Structure 1
C-alpha cells in the first residue's frame, strides 16, 4: 500500500469537514488507530482502509486517484484578474493563469458609448452573461436587444454579434464563453 495513505486520508477527511473522532465513530475504528494511520505510523489493511473510506464515503480507487494537491490558483482578488480589454472596453479575465482553461470567465466594463467595434464578431463556441449594472445593447445576427441589470443572454458565438453601451452610464456584466480564448 502507498506510503502516503495517512496524509492523504487526513487531507480528505479535512476536505470533507469530518473530525477524526467523527470518522472513527462512523467506521468503527478506534480514534487512536485512526490517528496513528493518519500520522503514517500504522499502515491499515486493505479491508480496514475500505471500511474507513466507506464512512467518508469514497471508493478505494477514487481515494488513490483523487487530486488532493491542487496547484492551480483558486481564489482571485481584483488585482489578480488579467485585463485583456482593448480600446475603451475592459475585460477582466478570471483564471487567466490556468494553462488548461476550458472557458473564459470575465467581468466586462463598457464605459458610456463604448462597443466591441463596428464589425460583428463570430467564433466557434457559446457565450452567456448577466448584466450587473447599466445597459448593454447586444446584436446577435439580425436581432438586437438592450438588456439591463439582472437580465441575461446565451447564444452560439458562430452567429455574428456585437456589444454596445448606448447610454452615458457605465455598464458592467459578467460573461462566460467557450472555448477558452487565448489572449
Structure 2
C-alpha cells in the first residue's frame, strides 16, 4: 500500500474509471492542480483533499486505509485501453491490466485497405463481434461474407480466419474473444 497521496489518488481515480478532467469538474479543483497532485509535485491541503474525495464519497480516513493495490479496475476511459493492433489496424483491449482475464473484449478499427494479413489467423477459442460502422470482409475457413453495421459474427477461432476492410470508409467493430490469452 502506498502512502503517496498523488499516487493513491491516481489509483483511486483509475479504479473508479474517471478521467482527471471529469474529477476536476466534479470536485471544483482545477485540472492542472489535480494533475500536479497526482504527479506528486504538490501536496493538497486537507480542505482540497476533502473536496476531491467527496467526489468519490470517501472519507480522508478511508482514503488512507483502503487497499488500492489489490482492487481490480472496473471502469476504463479511452486512454486506459491498450492498443495491441498492427499494420494500421487498431485493436483497443479493455482490461489489459486485469490479472487472470477470462476474455478479450476489444474495440477494433480498420481503416480502408487494411487487413489482418495475407496469412489466415488461427488460435484456440471463440470470437464474436458486431460491426458498428463501415464494412468488413470476414473469411472463416472457406466462408466469406461482407458484414455491414448491425451484422455480427461468432466462430471457433481454431478455424483459420481473416478480417479485411475492402470498403472506402473506416470500419469499427466491437468484439469479444476467449480465452483471453489469445490476445
| In 2, Cα distance between equivalents of 1:163 and 1:104 | 17
Aligned to 2:162: 162
Aligned to 2:140: 140
| In 1, Cα distance between equivalents of 2:129 and 2:163 | 12
Unaligned runs of 5+ in 1: 1-68
Aligned to 1:22: none
What TM-score comes out, normalization by structure 2 length?
0.61
Larger radius of gyration: 1
Quote the offset at 1:152 in angstroms: 0.2
Aligned to 2:82: 82
Q: Deviations over 1:41-92 (max 9, x none)?
A: xxxxxxxxxxxxxxxxxxxxxxxxxxxx971000011111011111110000
Quote the offset at 1:181 in angstroms: 2.7
Quote the offset at 1:182 in angstroms: 6.0
Aligned to 1:95: 95
| In 1, Cα distance between equivalents of 2:168 and 2:100 | 38
Q: Deviations over 1:97-122 (max 9, x none)?
A: 00110110000000001000000001
Contact in 1 for aligned 2:133/2:173 (Cα 8 Å) = yes
| In 1, Cα distance between equivalents of 2:70 and 2:162 | 37
Aligned to 1:113: 113
What TM-score comes out, normalization by structure 1 length?
0.61
Aligned to 1:175: 175
Aligned to 1:122: 122
Aligned to 1:152: 152
| In 1, Cα distance between equivalents of 2:146 and 2:181 | 25
- Over the aligned positions, Cα root-mean-square deviation in angstroms equals 1.5
Aligned to 2:38: none
Quote the offset at 1:156 in angstroms: 0.3
| In 2, Cα distance between equivalents of 1:140 and 1:125 | 14
Aligned to 2:7: none
1:160–1:182 CA distance, 2 compared to 1 (3 A): closer
Which runs of at least 4 in structure 1 moved beyond 4 Å after TM superposition? Answer: none
